[in-house]
Amino acid sequence: MWVSGTRVFAQRDTNAAEPIADVGADATFANVHHGGRLVDVFDRNFNVQSVELTAGTWQQTSAPDAAPDGGTFRSGIGLSHDADTAVSIRDHPVPGSITTTLRLFDAYGHSDTSVVQISTALAQASSICVDSLPEYLFPLYDQLGNLVEVDTVYLAQCANTQGVGMSERVAWDKVAFEPGRARALVSVTIAATVATASGQTACPNAFTLPDGGPSALCRSISSTTSTERTDVFEVDLETRTHPKIWPVSGAQVFWLGASEDGGEVTLGEGSVSQSSAYAPDPNAYGVFLNTVQPQVTTGCAVTYRSLSAGVLRKSIPSVDVCRNPANQGTIAPAPRRLGGP
């Protein structure tokens, strides 16, 4: 089951998707309660709208349901199936790598003193000078035109350096509890930036040396940042092992949640790219301008994959996943029921 825009859809097996409700607001978190007859959908402010299967048709309702929340819904917000344990993550970057730390919390908010740390190696850019001051030598002559000495007015130096080549960073990471199991899923999305430098030219508005040469040489940098991959790890909360179980190539995982039977996971996926240009200000020496283009998102979709190997089973295009990433997909906990989601 998933939401797109203001509408709620459900699909069973290979049957066609069925629109079951229009909640009239931007829909985000989706929750199919146990029993499969009540669906909660939340808007951006976490106000809930509910639809219930009554006499074979789906109708909006405000009546509370005694059935517990669906396991996939709780999974996606980091809660165990019984909501008595929670998981959270925090990143600790250092040059060349980042450590994602997972902690456990009980129902009273007490943190487990044991933590799981997932380390990810990251490529680092090299440095290049974009504003260099060449060495300036001033010759001194006597009255007969003979060279007496050469004074060094200033040594070559660099006033500004920037990164070139490829660098990586963690753009996004999320955690989900596996319902009914002492395990959690952690997704770590890596974004790669490729920066290239122009050749050296005279810096705008730099003064000219007496010998006619420029007093400063500048470069421009062009950069493109794009989603490289997402690595999905499965953390055993008892043994503290955390193998990487599969990657999602070229896509960012905005959220994820596991099914109650442990066979499937739903994810919000999409690719993000952005270009920028770092160049000297044509009107002022020593000033550089960084012009950043708007982000471009592609491939935004609610997806369903096998939990064990990440095999793609279904993909539903939805710009909402990238525009407002907030668990737009879920998996019903109930067994198949005629007319239900």
pLDDT (tens digit, 9 = 90+) per residue, 186-219? 999 999 999 999 999 989 988 776 666 667 899 9
3-state class of 334 per DSSP? coil
**Residue 311, token pair as written in the block:** 């095999």
Per-residue pLDDT band for 328 (boundaries 50, 70, 90) equals confident
Element (H, E) at 73: helix 71-76
The answer to whether residue 299 scores a pLDDT higher than 90 is yes
Taking the CA atoms of residue 169, residue 258, residue 244 and residue 246 in that order, the dihedral angle to the nearest 10 degrees is -90
pLDDT of residue 82: 86
| Cα Rg, the chain, nearest whole Å | 28
Residue 104 and residue 88 in contact, taking contact as beta carbons nearer than 8 Å? no
More confident residue, 81 or 332: 81
Element (H, E) at 291: strand 288-292
Among 16-20, 130-134, 255-259, name the one with the lowest average pLDDT. 16-20
pLDDT of residue 108: 63
More confident residue, 234 or 46: 234
Distance CA 123, CA 41 (A): 40
Element (H, E) at 85: strand 85-94
Distance CA 263, CA 178 (A): 10
pLDDT (tens digit, 9 = 90+) per residue, 213-251? 667 899 999 999 999 999 999 999 989 999 999 999 999
Distance CA 187, CA 175 (A): 6
